[in-house]
Amino acid sequence: MNQLRNKEKNYDFKRFESVISRLDIKLENVLRNIPTRYKETIEEIRLRVDCPLMIESLGNDYYVNCNGQVGKEMNNSFIIGEKIIKNTFERLCEYSIYAVQDELRNGFITIKGGHRIGIAGKVVYKERSITTIKEISSINIRIARQKIGISKEIMGFLWDKSSIYNTLIISPPQCGKTTLLRDIIRTVSNNGLKVAVIDERSEIGGMYQGKPQNDLGVRTDILDRANKFEGTLMMLRALSPHVIATDELGDKLDIDAIHNSIKAGVKIITTIHGESINDIKTKPYISDIINQKIFKRIIILDNSKGVGTINDILDGITNKSLLNKGEIKCFG
């Protein structure tokens, strides 16, 4: 167990190193000096022009000073200037902003390693459509981390003989839903089922130049940046999946995609932002699929015992808990 934990820490450290090597040199040097425990657990690096450098780790945000010291006090924080924003953006784009224009329309780019870079600045429109973002003022670097094997303890609840139950993961932001989704996909794929991933936000596979940066299993096909409705139709027509997995459900077309998959006899694994069953029932269109009992298994995440706390696993038909009383698991 200790050997596995050390291997995971080394992996997380390398992911951190791969990100900071793509930043402005001054910024890289500051972040290289932060304590090791933050390098292993850091989730986000926040850059805002003329504001303090901030990082997020284990659900908390911290200021970072010029020496790499991390704390809750803003005094002596390293200040992000316009030049640092400009240099960092250019390095993240590998000095080819033209090459990432299509991604920029969505407000983010994905770099090697599957790390997602959120961008804010001046939006440029042409014929009522966003063409790009310029005069960058904020950069949010989300460090992608895999946690291989975290679904092992709950897979027994999800298997339906030789297939898998339609499964919904409910989670507030940054509580590990995408991390758990990846490992469920990987496990299902490696156990004989063909999985089609509709990766609308490029977070599940973290595709970079046609290659997934995350291990999603040997029988997994990834459709990157497609919307769920069109992507589902494409996968159903062309790749004969047993399972379709998607990221966050939202609008009516997403729900239509779910229905199309069910009609084709394909199982669904997907996620939604929320706190509980009652919470997501207040969302337009979502209450319908919950009331229709489409999902036979519902996993509820929170951060009550740290990021990645599995608060409950429900039978989607009865809405009763499948966990023993007090049996709360955490994979964070």
CA distances from 88 to 83, 141, 171 (A): 8, 11, 31
pLDDT-derived band of residue 2, with 50, 70 and 90 as boundaries? very low
Kindly list the strands in the beta sheet with 129-142, ordered across the sheet, starting from the edge strand earlier in the chain: 70-71, 60-64, 54-57, 42-48, 129-142, 115-126, 108-111
**pLDDT value of residue 9:** 53
Q: Domain limits of the chain?
A: 11-142, 155-330
Q: How confident is the model over 250-268, as a mean pLDDT?
A: 96
Q: How confident is the model over 187-199, as a mean pLDDT?
A: 98
pLDDT-derived band of residue 114, with 50, 70 and 90 as boundaries? confident
Spatial neighbors of 282 by CB under 8 A, at least 6 apart, are: none
% of the chain beyond a pLDDT of 70 = 94
Spatial neighbors of 264 by CB under 8 A, at least 6 apart, are: 236
Angle (CA) 222 227 228, round 5°: 75
| CA 258 to chain CA mean position, Å | 20
Please check whether residue 125 is in contact with residue 131, taking contact to mean a CB–CB distance below 8 angstroms: yes
State yes or no: pLDDT of 145 exceeds 70: yes
Spatial neighbors of 54 by CB under 8 A, at least 6 apart, are: 45, 46, 48, 61, 62, 63, 64
Q: How confident is the model over 15-26, as a mean pLDDT?
A: 93
CA 4 to CA 104: how far, in whole Å? 38
**pLDDT value of residue 3:** 41
CA distances from 56 to 29, 79, 234 (A): 18, 16, 37
User: 155-330 architecture in CATH?
Assistant: 3-Layer(aba) Sandwich (3.40)
**pLDDT value of residue 97:** 80
Topology, domain 11-142 = Beta-Lactamase (3.30.450)
Residues shown for the chain: 332
State yes or no: pLDDT of 49 exceeds 90: yes
CA 125 to CA 243: how far, in whole Å? 38
The pLDDT tens digits of the residues spanning 269-297 come to 999 999 999 999 998 889 999 999 999 99
Side chain identity at residue 228, one-letter code: K
**pLDDT value of residue 332:** 60
pLDDT-derived band of residue 324, with 50, 70 and 90 as boundaries? confident
One fold for 11-142 and 155-330:
no
The pLDDT tens digits of the residues spanning 175-192 come to 889 999 999 999 999 999
State yes or no: pLDDT of 298 exceeds 70: yes
Average pLDDT, the chain: 91
Please check whether residue 79 is in contact with residue 51, taking contact to mean a CB–CB distance below 8 angstroms: yes
CA 141 to CA 119: how far, in whole Å? 9
DSSP codes joined into one string, 52-115: E-EEEETTEEEEEBTT--EES--TTBPEE-HHHHHHHHHHHTTT-GGGGHHHHTTTEEEETTTE
Structure tokens at 316: 């989607």
